[in-house]
Amino acid sequence: LHVLVTGSTGFIGAHVVDNLLAKGFRVRGATRSASKGEQMKAVRPQYASLLEFVTVQDFSHIGVFDAVMDGIDAVIHVASPFFYNTTDNEKDLILPAINGVKSILSASAQSGSKVRRIVLTSSFASVLDVDRNPPPDFVYTAEHWNPLSYETAIDPGSSSVVAYRGSKKFAELAAWEFIKTNAPRFDLVTLCPPMVFGPTVHPVSSVDQLNESNAVLWSVAAGADPLPTARVPAWVDVRDLAEAHVQALMSPGAGGKRYIPVSPEPFSYESAADIIKDQFEWAVDSVTRDYEAGKKPQASYGVDGETVARELHFRYHRFRETVVDFVVQVRRDFYAS
Ligand code: NDP
């Protein structure tokens, strides 16, 4: 099978690429940056015959994938803007996220298309209701949707965090609506991960170029004071998430489903600080002392990550393993002299 991966030179997309290659799929990565595509290829010489990159335009345009679908059987659509230093929330985050989804779906529905499944990286942001005051035993499942309205998401008074949540919700909704309205020959699977952490396999030129979620985790090792506050106590390892994407593509029964890949272990940046200090001698001096050490992370609600792990046959990493693997890599890649 020949799979198109969008966002292929980003944090999650590059892991999806590697997971597919390891399973023998042919992969076409889409990126706005030809040079990042070249860098990805250069460090994967063993996959020269399976891996290619195509350059696409920014999602401020629509129809950006129309010309790159030739021979493609399935799509994993990972690309979406994920950053918080915006100047115009609707223009920077919300419209590109929706345009990207509409572009990939309409390109996959062109006449002659061989695409039979699309896996979409949505987010727990499209599930979570931040205003809910859940009872202690409340568990989010894939049935839940963030009630945020479009008007609030685009309101210039809303923060970029709110706008990002809206971008993911309304992009995912656009995908489900496309399926309902157009009844295309492909089906859809969406994945709604919370914070994603772990080692990187995409081109990162310096530590300040780390993707948004890993940058926050690294800030703990680098001495952030106060420690960052976790907006959600839920996380998943990027390698588990990549496996979930690829299993979602391969598993016949997954069509039409929405899943939440989330580790059963809640996390906090305090627990990350504990792990980093415990594991790395150098970190005893760099990590702030100004927090309550040794406190177990508390989650005010549960999130059902068991369903996807059971149905798509994978196991979750432990938080400790993810943090250690990531910190080891950052030190090696950016601080080794
Ligand atoms: P990255 O920023 O590393 O990757 C995002 C990718 O999206 C980039 O490779 C970029 O492609 C592409 N992209 C971004 N903006 C645009 C745009 N305007 N037009 C075209 N392409 C664009 O982030 P992640 O890998 O962390 O995130 C990937 C996906 O996972 C996103 O959909 C994000 O919402 C979702 N997600 C991430 C979480 C996390 O904690 N990391 C949590 C939950 C969901 P290029 O530069 O190559 O063209």
Give whole-number Cα distances, 1 to 12, 137, 166, 200, 250, in Å: 21, 43, 33, 26, 10
Provide the residue range defining the domain that includes 41. Answer: 2-199+235-263+302-317
Mind listing the pLDDT tens digit for each residue in 28-38? Answer: 999 999 999 99
Beta bridge partners of 258: 190
- What is the model's pLDDT at position 35? 97
Mind listing the pLDDT tens digit for each residue in 60-107? Answer: 888 999 999 999 999 999 999 998 888 899 999 999 999 999 999 999
Beta carbons of 95 and 51 less than 8 angstroms apart: no
**221 in any annotated domain:** no
Task: Give the whole-angstrom CA distance, residue 207 versus residue 214.
Answer: 10
DSSP letter, residue 334: I
| Token pair of 204 as six digits | 């990162």
**124 in any annotated domain:** yes
Cα 78 to middle of ligand 1, angstroms: 6
184 C-beta closer than 6 A to ligand 1: no
- What is the model's pLDDT at position 136? 80
Q: Is the dihedral of CA 36, 42, 46, 49 positive or negative?
A: positive
Beta carbons of 244 and 250 less than 8 angstroms apart: no
**323 in any annotated domain:** no
Q: What is the CATH number of the domain that holds 250?
A: 3.40.50.720
**125 in any annotated domain:** yes
Cα 192–chain centre separation: 8
12 C-beta closer than 6 A to ligand 1: yes
Which residues of the chain carry a pLDDT beneath 50? Answer: none
What string of DSSP letters covers 18-36?
HHHHHTT-EEEEEES-HHH
Task: Give the whole-angstrom CA distance, residue 62 versus residue 286.
Answer: 46
9 C-beta closer than 6 A to ligand 1: yes
Beta carbons of 59 and 103 less than 8 angstroms apart: yes
- What is the model's pLDDT at position 19? 98
ipTM of this model?
0.98
Q: Whose CA is nearest to atom 20 of ligand 1?
A: 58
- For residue 52, the tally of other CB atoms under 10 A from its CB is 14
**145 in any annotated domain:** yes
**207 in any annotated domain:** no
Task: Give the whole-angstrom CA distance, residue 216 versus residue 230.
Answer: 10
Contacts of 184 (CB under 8 A, 6+ apart): 105, 108, 109, 178
**287 in any annotated domain:** no
- What is the model's pLDDT at position 337? 62
Total residue count of the chain as it appears in this document: 337
Number of domains, the chain? 1
- Report the residue among 18, 80, 86 best suited for mutation to probe ligand 1: largest number of ligand atoms under 8 A from its CB: 80
Task: Give the whole-angstrom CA distance, residue 203 versus residue 173.
Answer: 31
> Which atom of ligand 1 is least distant from the CA of 36?
47
Task: Give the whole-angstrom CA distance, residue 86 versus residue 297.
Answer: 31
- What is the model's pLDDT at position 86? 85
Beta carbons of 204 and 316 less than 8 angstroms apart: no
**78 in any annotated domain:** yes
- What is the model's pLDDT at position 298? 85
99 C-beta closer than 6 A to ligand 1: no
